[in-house]
Amino acid sequence: MQNQSPVHESATELVGMPPADSNITDLIVASCADRPDAPVYAVRNGAGGWVDVHFTAFLTQVRAVAAGLIARGVQPGDRVGLFSPTSYAWAVLDQAVWFAGAVSVPIYETSSAHQVEHIVTDSGLRVVAVGSEELGERVAEAAGHAGVDVATFPLTDAGLAELAEAGAFVADDAVEHARSLATLASPASIVYTSGTTGRPKGAVITHGNFVGAAINVLHFAREVVQWSPETTTSRTLLFLPLAHVLAHAVQVICLYARIQVAHSGSPATLLGDLASFHPTWLLAVPRVFEKVEAGIEAKAQKGGTGPIYAAAKRTAIEWSTAVDEAEFGDGPGPSALLRARRALFDRLVYRKIREALGGEVISCVSGASALSPELVHFFRGAGIPIVEGYGLTETTAPATVNIPGAHRVGTVGLPVAGVTVKIAEDGEILIRGPVVFDGYHGMPQASAEAMEDDFFRTGDIGALDEHGFLRITGRKKDVIITAGGKNVYPTPMEEALRQHRLIEHVVVVGENRPFVGALITLDSEALTQWALDRELSLTPAEAATDPTVLASIQEAVDQVNAGVSRAESIRRFRILDHPFTEDSGHVTQSQKLKRAQVIEDHAEDVEALYRR
């Protein structure tokens, strides 16, 4: 495939980097010195409210826990695992590991003993902080299989207090010495990729990568997170797993920027946490926004206000689209009538959406996978701009992002400060900058293959428009070549189909086949409400062959087909009666589909698509 991008390279100037002999903790210490009283975290007070944790108090706790790690035998360069849900304790230990001169190894709490065993043996872990007894048992099982000794301690408030007590006799100078050993080139964290096509690889994220993100990503996206050096009013609620590099990097950026962070470690408490903490911006993955919109629609249908909601949704999308056409084309912008309709629906509908997110959210950041342009337009029209960014584990944090004043819906934005994005001849996206990782742990050949000169080969296909905005087409390895020789990129079609209320996952197939087909799974919650709205009673197995369900899905398929050539169109689809999950082995811990595994395990379903 030849490069079809009108622009081959896009870059944004570097804001700056500190001396090579510094590290991320130097940045944090300096930020604290500037505003020691800044409220950098908030923790639950036990009475439904939140208590501020100021910068000085936080670093005092971090140093005490770092002393405890040293007292327990952790040496500079050692690996320390963090195996726990998202929490304040996770944030404390993360910094304490660096203050002790060690390297953090985040582990998803959903990891199986087998997955933990791989991380333990590959990274050389000998101590792991665990969020529960059950997680500790998983580590013990993994260590037993690996034949190594791995110590554990509880990653809880009580566990950290005990660790700090153990370090009471460690001199402050010993902690300061350990903290100052690392340089920008030193490993800070080993983050394991989600492994959609094989065994996860440990991406080595350096202190320089985190520093590069803290300084340059923050400066570029400062309006998104409502930051300036003087303000401390910006606050966010983190609920993504901190084992995900995006959430981890954002937490580090927020600490440096003195943006207050609270944590929500359970889906069961998320709505309550949003309502009580009142964040001013949020970081989430597309599925969260999709669920929010689907839930609002279902509630409107149930309450008999479906037509009002539908009109409000259309208005929001029309308004946002008109804004885009004025900014990037020759459009006149929203008409007076459209502005009036939007104001009306703001009182009737949009305000309630904002209230569901805490009432004070000014912007949202979406990452990890693509969000449909229609949904971005809807939320922006409803007064909640969602800016999409793009990055991978290997780029530490977003390498590109949309920002206010330079927000083009349907793209993942411009390169952040210090980053250069280049489109290779075959369409692959290449990235260079201070956020690019230092290779895969213990895998020199894979590390070399991941780079082209000093650019990281992302494996994604995309294009840059005339303004330098990046648009993602799909994964290079996912390109389908039909029997007729047509190259088909499945990702855009899959993402479009997933906007249907009933659809949870889609896998488009057609390699060496006469036409393109699709395997589809249904969202069980949405199916239940959809059936109730129609006075039906359907199990997932019944829904897979129900004429009403099939007709509804066919409408969505027809809409997608209208936007592609006949050779790319989905001719047949098959609804499966079971979901794709982590337990089934078809979804990674970061909720990415394992396409090859799905196709292998559902070979009979694929064959059924092509039977006459």
Predicted local distance difference test score (pLDDT) of residue 183: 98
List the one residue out of 574, 575, 594 whose CA is nearest residue 584.
Answer: 594
CB 49 within 8 A of CB 75: no
Whole-angstrom distance, CA of residue 325 vs CA of residue 457: 33
List the one residue out of 407, 306, 317 whose CA is nearest residue 364.
Answer: 407
Kindly state the helix (H) or strand (E) to which residue 508 belongs, with its residue range: strand 503-509
Predicted local distance difference test score (pLDDT) of residue 276: 93
Lowest mean pLDDT among 52-61, 244-253, 558-567: 558-567
Predicted local distance difference test score (pLDDT) of residue 228: 86
Summarize pLDDT for 376-397 with one digit per residue, the tens. 999 999 999 999 999 999 999 7
CB 216 within 8 A of CB 612: no
CB 80 within 8 A of CB 153: no
Task: Give the count of alpha carbons within 13 A of 382, CB side only.
Answer: 32
Predicted local distance difference test score (pLDDT) of residue 1: 46
**Is the pLDDT at 3 greater than 60, yes or no?**
no
pLDDT tier, 486 (very low <50, low <70, confident <90, very high otherwise): confident
Average pLDDT over residues 511-523: 90
Summarize pLDDT for 409-450 with one digit per residue, the tens. 989 999 999 999 999 998 999 999 999 999 999 999 999 999
Predicted local distance difference test score (pLDDT) of residue 371: 82
Summarize pLDDT for 100-149 with one digit per residue, the tens. 999 999 999 988 888 899 999 999 998 999 999 999 999 999 999 999 99
**Is the pLDDT at 26 greater than 80, yes or no?**
yes
Predicted local distance difference test score (pLDDT) of residue 589: 75
Whole-angstrom distance, CA of residue 473 vs CA of residue 162: 50
What are the chain's domains?
24-182+227-280 (3.40.50.12780), 286-359+362-476 (3.40.50.12780), 479-609 (3.30.300.30)
What sign for the dihedral angle of Cα 111, 113, 114, 117? Answer: positive
Summarize pLDDT for 293-341 with one digit per residue, the tens. 888 888 888 888 889 999 999 999 999 999 989 988 888 999 999 999 9
Q: Which residues pair with 460 in a beta bridge?
A: 475
Structure tokens at 353: 């959406």
Whole-angstrom distance, CA of residue 249 vs CA of residue 211: 10
Predicted local distance difference test score (pLDDT) of residue 196: 53
Q: Which residues contact 564 (CB under 8 A, 6 or more apart)?
A: 493
Percent of the chain with pLDDT over 90: 65
CB 217 within 8 A of CB 416: yes
Predicted local distance difference test score (pLDDT) of residue 293: 86
Whole-angstrom distance, CA of residue 119 vs CA of residue 109: 13
Q: Which residues contact 575 (CB under 8 A, 6 or more apart)?
A: 520, 521, 522, 543, 544, 545, 549, 550, 553
List the one residue out of 391, 470, 473 whose CA is nearest residue 436.
Answer: 391
